[in-house]
Amino acid sequence: MLALRRTANGEGIVSVLRGFRSKSCNESRIALRALGWASVAVGVAALGLYVGRELRQRYKFNRRTPSDFYSHAGDEGQTTEFGMGI
């Protein structure tokens, strides 16, 4: 991992990690472009989930029945024993 490089005036520079060298402008541009597109993709997915949720809620709200106005309408379970201390 340690590498010794010589400069133009003959001095030695020790590079500890080769991966942290300064990158060219083209390489950093590619990385930023990939990061930008990934951010756009995540944003589009989040927007799609939000819009889909809103559309489903509106659909369900417009298709409700009169019995939906009562609490626990259509629930199956312990309706007779509820609150009787059994």
Please give the Cα distance from 25 to 23 (Å, whole number): 6
Report how far apart, in Å, the C-alpha atoms of 18 and of each of 2, 21, 25, 49, 79 are.
8, 6, 17, 42, 70
- pLDDT (tens digit per residue) in 62-78: 888 877 777 665 666 65
Q: Are 67 and 73 in contact (CB under 8 A)?
A: yes
- pLDDT (tens digit per residue) in 10-47: 565 555 555 555 567 788 888 899 999 999 999 999 99
Write down the domain spans for the chain.
35-64
| pTM: predicted TM-score of the whole model, two decimal places | 0.50
Instruction: For residue 76, give both structure tokens.
Output: 């199956």
